[in-house]
Structure 1
Amino acid sequence: MKLYRLLTGDDTSAFCHKVSEALAKGWELHGDPAYAFDAENGVMRCAQAVTKEVEGEYSPDMKLGAQ
């Protein structure tokens, strides 16, 4: 089955590390990253979708970050 996650965060090196960690755990980039300005907080926000093929069946109780 294919799992999907949307990683989000402020546009900082911490967000890049979050995506890099997911890639190191076998997740693959899915589509282009997205950027949006959060006017209320005055910061840029990032989002990157990632997917991963795993064995088994999907359950809404799965902890996707642990995969």
Structure 2
Amino acid sequence: MSTTPPDGKPIYRCITGPDDDTFCKRVSQALQDGWELHGSPALTFNGETVICAQAVIWSGFIG
């Protein structure tokens, strides 16, 4: 595994969005692409919808 993420993406990312199927697919795709979950997801309510955040870190990174 490369120590550098693909497409010039940073080693650490925080994926955010409404708590829906699209958000889950984005996180799932990141995991398939080589990122690992970093911590627990966070949830908040903006008055209309639940918003999720999930941090991921590049699994090939040697810190």
Report percent identity of matched pairs. Answer: 47
Residue 35 of structure 2, aligned match among 27, 31, 35: 27
The runs of 4+ residues in structure 1 deviating greater than 3 Å are none
Moved more, 20-29 or 1-10: 1-10
In structure 1, list runs of 5 or more residues that go unmatched: 56-67
RMSD of Structure 2 on Structure 1 (CA): 1.9
| Alignment map for 1:1-67 (pairs within 5 Å) | 3-39=11-47, 42-52=48-58, 53-54=60-61
Q: In the TM superposition, what whole-angstrom CA distance separates every residue of 1:26-67 from its partner, at most 9, and x where no partner exists?
A: 00000000000011xx00000000000359xxxxxxxxxxxx
TM-score of the superposed pair, with normalisation by structure 1: 0.72
* Higher share of residues assigned strand: 1
